[in-house]
Amino acid sequence: MSVAPLRLGLAGLGTVGIGVVKIVQAHADLVAARAGRPVVITAVSARDRTKNRDADLSGYAWETDPVALAKRPDIDVFVEVMGGHEGPAKLATEAALAAGKHVVTANKALLAHHGQTLAEAAEAANLALRFEAAVAGGIPVIKALTEGLAGNRMKRVMGVMNGSCNYILTRMQAENLPYETVFEEARQLGYLEADPNLDVGGIDAGHKLSLLAAIAFGTRVTFDAVELEGIGNVSIDDIRLAEDMGYRIKLLGVAQMTGRGLEQRMTPCLVPADSPLGQLQGGTNMVVLEGDSVGQIVLRGPGAGMGPTASAVMADVIDIARGFRLPTFGQPASTLSAAQPARAATPAPYYLRMTLLDKPGALAKIATCLGDAGVSIDQMRQYGHQGANAPVLIVTHKAAPDDVAHAMTRFAATGVLVGQPVAIRIEEV
């Protein structure tokens, strides 16, 4: 092949970075055939050069400073897989664009916080800024939205986008284990970030949702407007009772444009147990895309790990090698609108769990509170007595979130409630 190779500068030699090295080394001929030119790694950057990384790095120049790597004249594409939305990752990415280098990143936090500015800089310089690996690991959801579904007006984007949370919830359900036990198990297995709240607090998944929403609805990335609630308060009781009613609990991201503005929420929700999302097990991710012409598309696959994430990085690299250029968020950054953030107000059924005093008229008082708030009951079950208390589970018909919240505040005044009630939205999929 006589054309010049595409030269990569790889910043970050953790799990994903070494995955990229292995693909470039093991599939050199295949990548060259598909890209139309060889793809090689020229230089790498990481803090510790002496660490054993189970890969041959001897043929690459080494830079301790990723900013220096980004400025090297012998690289064409800066591949950033370090992580972090400030500090070296941000500085090096900015330096790469300023130096005329294309950028491929797996850093969802960086783009969730600085995506608009970086996209404008890349497009002003006619450079590619690609991030397939930043959302849902090996699932090609960015390509699906920016290319395959480009002719659709998107109606809704939703999905399970954090495999660690899905592992915890499905393990709790399968083994009837409390959250604290499975959380510690996941930590010991290395499934959680160094700061576990990035996973179980919904932050990691919220970053991903904000990026998908920007592409789907042509808006600027607004991570700060994502309603976030993690899985720390999901009890084994809720998992067990939801299953009894035909539902599973998932940390579910939902983004949709409404007449009031852009709704973005990453919260625990109930989904039908027999739905694709309800059947999702372990660390797998799933993204559901709904367009006005295509209807519903379901994408399922590994959301993290060396191979899947490196695969997504290389898909972007090969596109750049082919000469393919696309605006970062599917349309010019200058045309992205500043969406009006909107709190979730779309009506939905709700799962309500509470414990009542076992005395005449207790349930009637709760039903009255719901009725006065405009919330009607679809299903109701009362479970075995716990001493003088009676556990009750209610599934409502579709109701506005504010109406459910209003009813919940009125419960306390009835004098029949024991402890705090639980309300979880049921998402229809």
Q: Give the residue numbers annotated as catalytic, written as ranges.
A: 208
227 with 265: CB under 8 angstroms?
yes
Q: Is 376 left (phi over 0), alpha (psi -120 to 50) or beta?
A: beta
Cβ atoms within 10 Å, residue 196:
16
288 with 157: CB under 8 angstroms?
yes
Question: Cβ neighbours of residue 223 under 8 Å, at least 6 residues apart?
Answer: 112, 113, 206, 207, 210
